[in-house]
Amino acid sequence: MGLLGAIEAGGTKFVVAVADENYNIVERTAFPTLDGEKTLDQVIAFFDQFDNIDAIGIAAFGPIDIVPESKTYGYVLDTPKHGWSGYDFLGRMKAWRDIPYFWTTDVNGAGWAEFETGAAKDAQNMVYLTVGTGVGAGIVSGGKLGRGYGHPEARHIFLQKHPEDHYEGHCPFHGDNCLEGLAAGPAIEARWHKSAKEIPDGDKAWEIEAFYLAQAALDYTMILRP
């Protein structure tokens, strides 16, 4: 059996790797994210070292088109990241080497890893949440990644506000009404004037953060019943 390739396509950096059939990493490297063409040049240069790659999984920052029936499937859609809006990411990879590709969002990629080999490996249903610059959710239902028209916008669910929280919210669409606007990294930093890494355990900040994340977990559980 050949090797498996992996691309973690982040807005700040790309991480690329190859692994054997047991997911043991053979080689891995990372580099800053430039525009689409320049970045994919580096991706392809890395994979050119290996002749026996059977398939590549791509977990990409977005928004991306993950609907196979769409005319723009495999594209990066409108994004503030310079040189990426309308870029045919998957098409460029297929033109390089015609092998199977698994194309999904960054949070789906992380969620699928937990489902296959991590905390949820013994489950058939799960919700994976990442809380960083934004909030994202990877949903697995019946052993398959959940999607409808596009990737679920779990970050924009509306929440009850903590009675002691007077922050106006970070979300440009919903202000202080949605999960991302209240609980993402930039919201924490703007509210407390320091990054999450600098806030000590036991601080009031974590009580408020937990209040929002617990509501989200409850809402997802009631709707999806993982």
Has residue 183 been placed in a domain? yes
User: Taking a C-beta distance cutoff of 8 angstroms, is the pair 109, 59 a contact?
Assistant: yes
The pLDDT tens digits for 155-200 are 999 999 999 999 999 998 999 999 999 999 999 999 999 999 999 9
Which of 69, 90, 111 finishes a domain? 111
Residue 29 maps to which CATH number? 3.30.420.40
Instruction: Residue 61: give the domain boundaries.
Output: 3-111
Residue 145 and residue 92 share a domain: no
Distances (CA, A) of 80 to 41, 77, 181, 217: 21, 10, 18, 29
> What is the value of pTM for the model shown?
0.86
Has residue 81 been placed in a domain? yes
Residue 186 and residue 128 share a domain: yes
- Summarize the confidence of residues 15-34 as an average pLDDT: 96
